[in-house]
Structure 1
Amino acid sequence: MTNLANDGAADSLLETAWAQREETLYTTLFGDLGPGIYPLDLSLFEQMFNCTQVDPRWLHIGVFECPPTPGRPHWVYVSSGLSNPWDDNPDDDEEWTGLGRELLLECPQQSPWALTLVRRFAAYQMLLAAGRFGDQEPLDAWDRMSVGGPIDGQQSALSAIIMVPSEHYPEEYQLVSGKFAFLQIIGLSAAELAHGRAHDFEDLLQMLGERGAAPLVDAARGSIV
């Protein structure tokens, strides 16, 4: 039998956490959140992952395109909804909320490809969490992979990504439903990906930072190795 009182409490927890993240925390961290959220849609799941059946709640997850502010000269693309407490019981004392991560990508200029990429990986995270790829766990820090072509869909030398702890937003942030942290996407060339696998990805990230190739991602840059 459904417990309507508990269902109402769960809905309230979700709505409160959602509002706290977007209306309070994100506006404090990122300022202007742009024209609104760009939600995931069924065509994204169908075209990118050949997935025709999705949880309708996933279609409320999206990405903000945040323009520069007086204190931040670059653009930020950040997901919202991966940390939703979809299945949390309000009576449980959960340490993390939802998947415990939101995705973030920073660019020196407005980059439509970045919006596409973050939406793509937000969808991938939900599919991973739902077990649609077998035993694979959702992406976390230091996971890396090829994206199957230029990161911008055109002629970029970057064709892979690595997920790292955020440099500009390194904290764990607390919502009423639990805490989450940002997982930052850094673009890599195939040669950089191979170099990291052969040596050390933390050293590679330091090299990228020293060359101005991270944490901001410029699809027009060349490979550093």
Structure 2
Amino acid sequence: MDDDTLLEHSWEVREESLYKQHFGDTGPGIHPLDMDLLHGVFQQEDIDPRWLHVGVFACPPHGERRHWVYVSSGLSNAWEGVHEDGDSGFGVELLLETRDEAPWALTTLRWFTAYQLLLCHSRMPGGPLAPWHRLKLGMPVDRADSELQAMVFIPSPHFPGPQQLPSGRFDFLQLLPLTLDEHAFGREHDFETVLAQLTAAGAAPVVDPERRGIALTP
């Protein structure tokens, strides 16, 4: 199978088989990255047209899953053929789970998908996002009055990997918004403890931007 055929076949397997198996309904279609985001927000002048095929699905509740899932598609595209390390493309897709349909979640995941794409192409300082990376957002995650103003990236609890495509494997890297106090606790102690205690309190991995901070203990 040549590289172009492998790319197209793996793309179809991801979106029409693997994603339907995991998420059921993937919504009316993909929300692709666009020039407004890549040029207007990230100030990119030289834009690879292939990047405009990367995007995000907004998956409504399906079956026993009563919450929304936002998931990227395209970061695992094997544009350059098969990798020796076994990864498909950049070996990752981003994911965010929310209690309700959330325009802010779509905006946030599209932004981080573009950011990851640029990191992987060395267009931004720093290495690609990976499990347990964290950062402050500088604003509420919902662009309103949420107390969640930081982010940690976690291995997806509901959709553990690796996921297998004909072109190689990838993992879901999940976004988990935090309060600034939770973020500070994680930096002082560890973010695995943060995730465990938020999960026990029903505050993770599905996100409610209206939740209050959770009192964490070492």
**TM-score over 0.5 for the alignment?**
yes
1:82 aligns with 2:75: yes
Q: Match of 2:171?
A: 181
What is the CA distance between 1:209 and its match in structure 2? 0.7
Q: Distance in 1 between matches of 2:172 and 2:118?
A: 19
Displacement of 1:93 after TM fit?
Answer: 5.0
| Map 1:48-67 → 2, pairs under 5 A | 48-67=41-60
Other-structure match for 2:200: 210
Structure 2 residue ranges without an equivalent (≥5): none
Q: Secondary structure at the match of 1:131?
A: coil
Match of 1:3 in 2: none
**Paired position in structure 1 for 2:63:** 70
Which of 16, 22, 26 is matched with 2:9 structurally? 16
Give 3-state SS (helix, strand or coil) of 2:2's partner. helix
- Does 2:132 correspond to 1:142? yes
- For residues 207 and 48 of structure 1, the distance between their equivalents in structure 2, rounded to whole angstroms, comes to 35
Shift of 1:53: 2.4
Alpha-carbon separation, structure 2, partners of 1:94 and 1:16: 20
Q: Distance in 1 between matches of 2:33 and 2:195?
A: 30
Equivalence map 1:95-174=2 (5 Å): 95-134=86-125, 136-174=126-164
How far apart are the structure 1 equivalents of 2:182 and 2:78?
36
CA distance in 1, matches of 2:3, 2:81: 7
Q: Give 4+ residue runs of structure 1 displaced > 3 Å after superposition.
A: none
Give the direction of change, closer, same or farther, for the CA distance of 1:199–1:34 in structure 2 (3 Å limit): same
Identity across matched positions, percent: 50
The residue type equivalent to 2:142 in the other structure is D
Q: CA RMSD in A?
A: 1.3
Aligned pairs, number:
215
Partners of 2:85 and 2:22 lie apart in 1 by 24
Structure 1 residue identity aligned to 2:34 = D
